[in-house]
Amino acid sequence: MTELNTFARKAKGRKLYASITLCAFGVLSAAVWGWQHYSTVSEKTLTPLVVQNNLQIDLNTPDVLIDSDSLSQLPKDLLTIPFLHDVLSEDFVFYYQHNPDRLGIEGSLRRIVYEHDLTLQDKLLTSLLDQPAEAALWHDKKGRLSHYMVLIQRSGLSKLLEPVLFAATSDRQLSKTEISGIRINSETVPVYALSYNGNRSLLFATYHDNMLIFSSSDMLFKGEEQDATATSIARGLLSGEQHWNTQFGLNARVPSATGKQQVRQRIVVNANLLGFGYQRLIPAFAGVRFDMDAGGWHSWLALNDKSASEDTSFDFAPLWSVMPSGASFCVAVPYSHGIAEQMLSQLSANSQELNGLLDGAGGLCWYENSRLQSPLFIGNINGGAEQAQLPAMLFENAIGARESNAPQGRMPVKKTQSGSATIWQREVSSRYGQYPAAKSASPEQLMSPAFFRVSLAIQDKTVAFSLDDTLVNNALQTLNKTRPPMADVIPDGNFVPLYINPQGMAKLLRRETLESLPKNAEPVFFNAAQTLLMPKIDALAAQPRYVMMLAQPEPGDAWQWLPVSWKAL
């Protein structure tokens, strides 16, 4: 074992309990995939990242917060949602109950209890996870929720763990670290490290009836010094502060056993995670929340304050009237005028030309006959012919790959006219491209065996863009009333930001899965997908279509929680 101080400073983040992360994120990804957010100041510029530690994350605002009566019951409670029960089945619960991380931690604790002849219950970890707890998770550089803090509250916790902590003086897997900056009421709270499954580890500290578990000492350190802000957050959590609920504009969830509140499970997802890095373009949305009480699960969507929403439109009806029908999954979002126009300002010296250039809302739809990487974007331009050229200039400058044999380094942009629509296209090499190189006008100039025919079209004030030129053509047909719009299936008179067609999603996912796992090249993974994944996709295909409907959005203070209803079509 390495020196304790090296371990304390350099230990990397690991997953404590994969069920906490994956079961929550799985349902949230399916339900609210497209919702995005970015917190802005009044000028609509990018707020600098609050760096509190070596992990480059802000401990004040987790990507996911789970506030639970019992973390171990969360997978079962998620299956009370009919949609998830049919798609995931009981295997979902079985998997997380037998997750390698959980079994590894439990095995390490059992060994400690046995070798040190401690008088403790056999299922110590299960007992801890059956208590009220808060789990906060952050994504790493690869987008995985691998960083965590878990606060467990249990009556008599200190007395329960006292024998285990005593064993830390002489155990090979449990040790006391040299982190000494957590002080509460003049008392120094020790931090312990537990290693499990060979190369994994977690750290924890206890104070009275609270236990704080976290994935890495780097959460508390900036450089080689312990960070004051991060340590203050840890100190407050151990003292019983409801820190994260306050950050999300929520009152603390009172355990149902008290009778004061019947919420048993709460899952909050920050739009920082859902935005996939693009939330700065649509700052009105802050996140989503799911609560479970005696009546089942309920959904909310949060808005940011007026400064992020005052120039946005929540009227999505015009968007659905021009979006082509047959979509598998759609999301509509209001624009952030300031951010989008700031990007376009590089193309125009006259900033007055950009005021209000983007109008209304924008939408993304995925289609079963296309690919996951090539959704269709539809938006609106508010301006004359000169302003309409700015998206074309952005297309010219930003779209394209470096082609080794192309005379100008990139393939040329082809501009055509179709009725009142102007279309710009550029062939872009990519191994994921939808067309083989042989279908290119100049195949010898492409650097990959496949390519996209990236397309941008503007007709009147409507903009259509996609890596798949077929989808842009479909959008133009919808504008010309020769193809039905999504408005034919989406209810009128409601704020509908989300549409889900499980049958179309299943077809899209099945094709993407099989194409990424060729039977001859990946026989093991192909057989595993056929056995384990395809039955789930078949169950998904049997589900009805859904839309998400919002109450009337009225921007005010930050983190306004609007009730969400789900309607089967």
The chain-wide mean pLDDT, for the chain, equals: 77
**pLDDT of 496-546, one tens digit each?**
999 999 999 999 999 988 888 877 878 888 888 888 888 889 989 999 999
pLDDT at 457: 94
Higher pLDDT, 467 or 202: 467
Mean pLDDT of 411-427: 92
Higher pLDDT, 343 or 139: 139
pLDDT at 375: 94
Which string of DSSP letters, residue by residue, matches 236-247?
Answer: HHHTT--HHHHH
Whole-angstrom CA distances from 124 to 109, 111, 174 are 8, 12, 15
Higher pLDDT, 306 or 384: 306
Closest by CA to 322, choosing from 356, 363, 358, is 363
Euclidean distance between CA atoms 545 and 568, whole angstroms: 6
Residue 384 has pLDDT above 80, yes or no: no
pLDDT at 30: 31
CB 497 within 8 A of CB 316: yes
Question: Where exactly are the structural domains of the chain?
Answer: 4-298, 315-399+453-501+545-550
pLDDT at 387: 64
pLDDT at 504: 95
Mean pLDDT of 254-278: 72
**pLDDT of 68-82, one tens digit each?**
888 878 888 888 887
Give the largest Cα separation in the chain, rounded: 84
pLDDT band at residue 35 using 50, 70 and 90 as cut-offs: very low
Residue 93 has pLDDT above 70, yes or no: no
Residue at 78: amino acid letter: L
Handedness of CA 32, 36, 42, 46 (dihedral sign): positive
3-state secondary structure of 133: strand
CB 370 within 8 A of CB 473: no
pLDDT band at residue 308 using 50, 70 and 90 as cut-offs: low
pLDDT at 378: 93
Euclidean distance between CA atoms 454 and 558, whole angstroms: 38
**Backbone angles phi and psi of 434, in degrees to 5:** -85, -15
Angle at which helices 157-167 and 100-115 cross, to 10°: 70
Euclidean distance between CA atoms 300 and 549, whole angstroms: 10
**pLDDT over 70, % of the chain:** 70
**pLDDT over 90, % of the chain:** 22
**pLDDT of 319-366, one tens digit each?**
999 999 999 999 988 776 666 666 666 655 555 555 556 667 889 999
**pLDDT of 186-245, one tens digit each?**
888 888 888 776 677 788 888 888 888 888 888 888 888 888 888 888 999 998 888 888
Mean pLDDT of 86-113: 60
pLDDT band at residue 39 using 50, 70 and 90 as cut-offs: very low
Which range has the worst mean pLDDT, 21-30, 124-133, 406-415, 439-448? 21-30
